[in-house]
Amino acid sequence: MKALVTGGSGFIGSRLAAALAGRGDTVRVMHRAGSRLDALDGLPVECVTGDVLDAASVAQAVDGCDVVFHAAAVSSYWRARGDVVSRVNVEGTRNVLAACRAAGVNRMVYTSSVAAIGIPPEGTLGTEELPFDALSARWPYASSKREAEDEVRRAVSGGQWAVIVNPAAVIGAGDHNLITGSMIVEAARGRVLASPPGGLCVADVDAVVIGHLQALALGRAGERYILGGENLTYRELASVMAEIVGRPAPRWRIPPLAVGPAAAAVDSYNRVSRRTPIVDGMQVRLSGRHMYYDSGKAVRELAYPMMPFVAAAEKAYAWYRQRGYL
């Protein structure tokens, strides 16, 4: 099988490319001209330059492939303008789907996010059927991933075969862009002094890669599958990371009532600052919520493996130390 991985130089994309090559598939990776390629060092893959917003380059990348894993996206949404996030995530997905139709490639796995599912009400687990909430609709990243899923479902209704996977917060070796791996790096540097009042669903990148492969083999066209892991409070996450990196666990917990004002202050600062944001107000707001999700559907239908957070964090820490981040 010849597989194309868009966004193949990124965290999930590069790990997916490695897994495909490791099982004997022929792998083509599409990346932008300015992308770092160190995540692909030593892998037996074909690298092609392209951009999902350039339909011609997407068509060239898709040509001759049997299956496409569409993982390209603006994941570090807080570092980009909302209109850029929307264009890449929505228009880019539309271009990949069109290229697949034109080339006769009728197998695609789309990497979405639990953000596209929405924020579960407090005390509940989000599932694939969760109604999209008003706050997520105002969040450019979540709404763009949701719209991209709509593009996939429209294509499926027109006869294409595609499956959607929704990873939670992904942890593990290979996150050189510090999307979620920044939690490990900041903990190792002793900068985590307090924990927010909410919680997060965290997934091992190795499990998420298996979920992609199983979605291709066992997934149902047009369906979405949550690829999650453990649901942990930020205090629990911080305690696990502190033990791994040999630092004291944070003693303080941010009061829930402080989250809103802190988010507003971050947004105000980002509006006047000329620096690339390291966090945005939406991230702060969400840190006060328990963003917990149920991966049961993926476990049942895809034999998705539920891997513990501690193992993923240990792999991430070792990877960052080996490469001089710490």
Residue 75 has what DSSP assignment? -
Tokens 């030593």 — which residue? 42
pLDDT of residue 104: 95
Residue 88 has what DSSP assignment? I
**31, 3 in Cβ contact below 8 A?**
no
pLDDT of residue 277: 65
141 catalytic, yes or no?
Answer: yes
pLDDT of residue 124: 97
In a domain, 252, yes or no: no
**194, 255 in Cβ contact below 8 A?**
no
Helix (H, G, I), strand (E, B) or coil at 62: helix
Q: Give the count of domains, the chain.
A: 1
In a domain, 117, yes or no: yes
What is the C-alpha end-to-end distance of the chain, expressed in Å? 39
Q: How far apart are CA 32 and CA 74, in angstroms?
A: 12
In a domain, 268, yes or no: no
Q: How far apart are CA 122 and CA 289, in angstroms?
A: 7
Which residues have CB under 8 Å from 102's CB, separation 6+?
A: 59, 62
Among candidate residues 141, 234, 293, 304, the one labeled active-site is: 141
In a domain, 244, yes or no: no
> Taking the C-alpha atoms of 30, 31, 32 and 33 in order, what is their torsion angle to the nearest 10 degrees?
-100
Range 154-192 burial, b when 16+ CB lie within 10 A, else e: ebbeeebbbbbbbbbbbbbbbbbbbbbbbbbbbbbeeeb
**Pairing between strand 230-233 and 199-204?**
antiparallel
Q: How far apart are CA 177 and CA 145, in angstroms?
A: 20
Structural domain of 155: 2-178+203-229+292-307
Q: How far apart are CA 218 and CA 63, in angstroms?
A: 24
CATH code, domain with 71: 3.40.50.720
Q: Dihedrals φ, ψ of 2, to 5°?
A: -105, 120
Which is nearest to 290 in space by CA: 166, 202, 200?
Answer: 200
In a domain, 303, yes or no: yes
Enumerate residue ranges in the chain where pLDDT < 70.
75-82, 273-274, 276-278
**320, 154 in Cβ contact below 8 A?**
no
Helix ranges (H only) for the chain are 11-22, 55-62, 82-86, 92-103, 134-137, 140-157, 182-188, 205-218, 234-245, 256-272, 281-286, 296-302, 309-322
Which residues have CB under 8 Å from 317's CB, separation 6+?
A: 184, 188, 241, 244, 245, 326
Could you tell me the two tokens for 204?
């091992």
Largest pairwise CA distance in the chain? 57
Q: What's the pLDDT tens digit per position in 34-75?
A: 788 788 888 999 999 999 999 999 999 999 999 999 999 876
**156, 254 in Cβ contact below 8 A?**
no
